[in-house]
Amino acid sequence: MKYCVIGKSLPHTLSPAIHKEFFAHYGMDNDYSVVEIPPTNLSRIRELLADMSGMNVTIPYKEQIIPYLDEVVGDAKELGAVNTISRVGDKWIGYNTDTYGFKALLDVNHINPKGKVCVVLGSGGASKSVEYVLKKMHAKQVLVVSRTPNSEQIDYTQLAKIEGYLIVNTTPVGMSPNIDSSPVGKDILSNWQVAVDIVYNPTMTKFLQLAASLGLYVANGLYMLVAQAVKAQQYWQNINVNKRVVDKIYRQLKHDFDQKSNNNIYLIGMMGCGKSTIAKELAQRLAYEVIDSDQYIVDMQSKSIAQMFEIGEEYFRRAETKALAEIVTKHNCVVATGGGIIKNPVNVAMMKASGQVVWLDRKIQLIERDCDTSTRPLLNGKSRNISTIFNERKHIYASSCDTKVANNSTVKSCINKLVKRVGDRV
């Protein structure tokens, strides 16, 4: 069976990669291609795609395609926007899976707009899906911002006076190759708690960088992309969407995308698990820069770790988040993080949005044997505290990482395993 994505210009679409992974998972011998159609040829859509069983639709045709379909159902009918078409007999049926994808993105990031003020930047087709989902999730208020607002929208000057929970960018501003632009600046972002950009290339847009520098929780659109694609397969194959399949394909796609984009590699794990040593060796192997986040913080604050903890752990954690917000703007770095960096969900979100997060796991017995407790403020010179801290954090390490690598043998052995997981990028 044959499927495709149609659009005006699709030089960098990831849709084939996603659907290829789906077909491989289910052992299906199906084909998925890219079909670029100029606006003057859209009226010939059935003729052009006569041998297709289904297709995805992207900009600028999500609304323009509707007159050529036999039926539009569900969310697509309510929104007046179609991104998935399935051929049922001799009929073409239109659906919208962007709504499912955006809801999945919010859920996986534990972003809950219920009872809260939300704002959507942009008024195009994607904006409609995002607004629809936020209202379905019972947001207190959903404001749509446009450069040319209608009577139900606001403009960017009005946005400056509003504050709330979630700000979502649905505009193409900041998308590759124009990566140095953001639809709004820090003055606007400082009024919000969570920033989502449905753009996924780059994974850490200027919009998200600015938001992270202010301590906002951030998320990009890559999970949405995968989820909406898998939902399309539900209509084509008549099977139920399985979140585990979405997660599996997302992890593979994220791995490949991080590798091709030279995104950072973040090593997380307990104090004494070998992050600093492994980071240096891995960076040398990959020809990457190595960054020790604790040293980065010391340089920024002009204080030692001990001096910061004397002021208070909260002081250190704020400094840690501020330092990480700078680090995530870089590329080609292996970052050895502090053991407690994962205690703040904002930090985890930043790392995941800007690279591969690797849990460097080491047996507690080995850490207790080797760790110099005298230099660790949280241990107070007592090795028995290591197990207590690990038990408090292990579930966070597990949920925060993209992959886990054991470091219980030699450095060389650990590096070899790491290279297999993150890919030899040289």
CB-CB contact of 98 with 229 (8 Å): no
CB-CB contact of 251 with 320 (8 Å): no
**Angle at CA of residue 313, ends 310 and 316, nearest 5°:** 90
Q: Which residue type is seen at 52?
A: M
Per the annotation, the verdict on 62 as an active-site residue is: yes
Measured N-to-C along each axis, helices 222-237 and 243-260 cross at an angle, to the nearest 10 degrees, of 130
- CB-CB neighbours of 136 under 10 Å: 12
**DSSP E strand boundaries for 178-303:** 194-197, 217-219, 264-268, 289-292
* Tokens 């590759």 found at: 176
List 8, 62, 161, 243, catalytic entry: 62
Alpha-carbon distance of 417 to 426, in angstroms, equals: 16
Q: How far is CA 208 from CA 279, 316, 349, in A?
A: 26, 23, 11
CB-CB contact of 196 with 219 (8 Å): yes
Peptide bond before residue 177 is cis, with ω within 30 degrees of 0: yes
Alpha-carbon distance of 150 to 72, in angstroms, equals: 26
Q: How far is CA 197 from CA 50, 181, 182, 238, in A?
A: 35, 13, 10, 31
CB-CB contact of 418 with 425 (8 Å): no
Residues classed as catalytic: 62
